[in-house]
């Protein structure tokens, strides 16, 4: 019986040694395979860049084509006429300013619009600014609509709010 245990122990030990040797050989082989692969040190023209390009990625999607809000009067525009704000709406203490963006240029563009709400009347002097980015690129000569929401205003009457376009940031999409 003791000889049998010695033989079993030797067989187990031999299998561990064999596995270790095989693992070492396999590992060395994988290192050699890695060394045979060419290393690209700089991207060539036409290669996909290794670093993500947020502008290119954002321009990959078109903004939905939809017109301005129905039955809503324009309350403010930017200096170019591309951005229009419409009558303020309120529901559950959230004030929403509908926004339409019309790309009058000849290239697709991304828009970020900053809207300012100034309270008048009993709450005079309170200014609240918020920005919204149009979801996707606006194609030339089309209009898309979105909205800017304000939650910190409270239950102020809509007539006591002065709304204006504070800033419009337009980024032209790169040609594809």
Q: Per-domain residue ranges for the chain?
A: 1-39, 55-172
Question: What are the per-10-residue average pLDDT scores of the chain (176 residues)?
Answer: 58 54 52 54 52 69 78 83 89 86 92 88 78 88 90 76 89 83
Please say whether the beta carbons of 115 and 131 come within 8 A.
Answer: yes
Tokens 């929401």 belong to: 149
Question: What's the pLDDT at 100?
Answer: 92
Please say whether the beta carbons of 98 and 113 come within 8 A.
Answer: no
70's tokens:
């129905």
Question: What's the pLDDT at 2?
Answer: 62
pTM, rounded to two decimals: 0.63
State the architecture of 55-172 in CATH terms.
Answer: Sandwich (2.60)
Please state, in angstroms and rounded to a whole number, the distance separating the CA atoms of residues 72 and 51: 43
Question: What's the pLDDT at 56?
Answer: 72
Question: What's the pLDDT at 25?
Answer: 47
Tell me the three state secondary structure of residue 152: coil
Please say whether the beta carbons of 105 and 162 come within 8 A.
Answer: no
Please say whether the beta carbons of 109 and 92 come within 8 A.
Answer: no
The runs of H, that is alpha helices, within the chain are 2-36, 54-59
Please state, in angstroms and rounded to a whole number, the distance separating the CA atoms of residues 104 and 5: 88
Please state, in angstroms and rounded to a whole number, the distance separating the CA atoms of residues 28 and 143: 61
């Amino acid at each position: 019986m003791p000889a049998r245990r010695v033989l079993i122990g030797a067989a187990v030990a031999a299998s561990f040694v064999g596995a270790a040797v095989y693992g070492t050989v396999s590992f060395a082989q994988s290192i050699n395979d890695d060394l045979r692969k060419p290393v690209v040190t700089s991207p060539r023209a036409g290669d996909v860049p290794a670093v993500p390009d947020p502008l290119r990625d954002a321009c990959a999607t078109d903004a939905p084509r939809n017109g301005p809000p129905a039955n809503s009067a324009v309350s403010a525009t930017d200096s170019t006429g591309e951005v229009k704000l419409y009558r303020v709406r309120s529901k559950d203490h959230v004030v929403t300013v509908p926004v339409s963006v019309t790309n009058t240029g000849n290239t697709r563009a991304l828009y970020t619009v900053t809207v300012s709400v100034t309270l008048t009347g009993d709450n005079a002097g309170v200014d609240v600014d918020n920005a919204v980015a149009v979801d996707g690129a606006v194609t030339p000569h089309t209009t898309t609509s979105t909205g800017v929401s304000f939650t910190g205003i409270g239950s102020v009457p809509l007539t006591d709010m002065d709304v204006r376009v504070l800033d419009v940031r337009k980024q032209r999409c790169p040609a594809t």
